[in-house]
Amino acid sequence: MDKVSHITLEPAVTPKSASSSHNLCITFYEDRNFGGRSYDCSSDCSDLSSYLSHCYSCRVHSGCFMLYDRPNYMGNQYFVKRGEYPDCMSMGMSDWFRSCRMIPMVNSLTVMRIYERENFGGQMMKMMDGSLPLMTDDCDSFMDRYRWSNCMSCHAMDGHWLMYEQPHYRGRMRYFWPGEYRSFDGMKFMSMRRIMDSWY
């Protein structure tokens, strides 16, 4: 997987933290296969090196998180949900986990407008029935469904989303929360899916 340097693709407002009642928790370990010292995290962490000398594995006890291979939520992004991740290298990382962002649970409809060009230009994606200029479901290929070669801007209106560079949810990914994204800093996306409450 190619390395991406200093790309955040964030709107002006960061995602609101989930209520503590959700008890979202992830444990990071210094070594592979959950060895070495550990650090329990239940919120955003901009620099894991403040707690561990390095971090090569993790367990997600509950919730969903985005992991980054650079501090301050920069670089390549990796989505994790409840489960065990014994080796970050098997996830396609070329380095260890450097920062972590908690993804809050959203008990609402997921709604997204996506555009063919930057700055909300070109065609806007519509639902398959054509009833509304909105997207509320997953799309495993923009090309197959809409004959688009890529997506270059979006407006996440509700919910939390993952976009992927390749069809069928493959390749590098990016996390989007409610806000306007006028450009993706040169990246282009070919598929997208919702982050579901059932994953928590």
DSSP for residue 137? S
Do 130 and 95 share a domain, yes or no? no
Give the bridge partners for 183, in sequence order: none
Do 122 and 175 share a domain, yes or no? yes
Tell me if 68 is assigned to some domain.
yes
The string of pLDDT tens digits covering residues 33-62 is 999 999 999 999 999 999 999 999 999 999
What is the domain extent for residue 115? Answer: 111-199
Reported as type and span, the H/E element at residue 146 is: helix 142-146
Number of structural domains in the chain? 2
CA distance 16 to 118: 26
Q: How far apart are the first and last CA of the chain?
A: 27
pTM: 0.83
Tell me if 11 is assigned to some domain.
no
Q: What is the CATH number of the domain that holds 136?
A: 2.60.20.10
The string of pLDDT tens digits covering residues 169-191 is 999 999 999 999 999 988 889 99
Contact between 146 and 125 under an 8 Å Cβ cutoff? The reply is yes
**Half-sphere exposure (CA, 13 Å, Cβ side) for 157?**
10
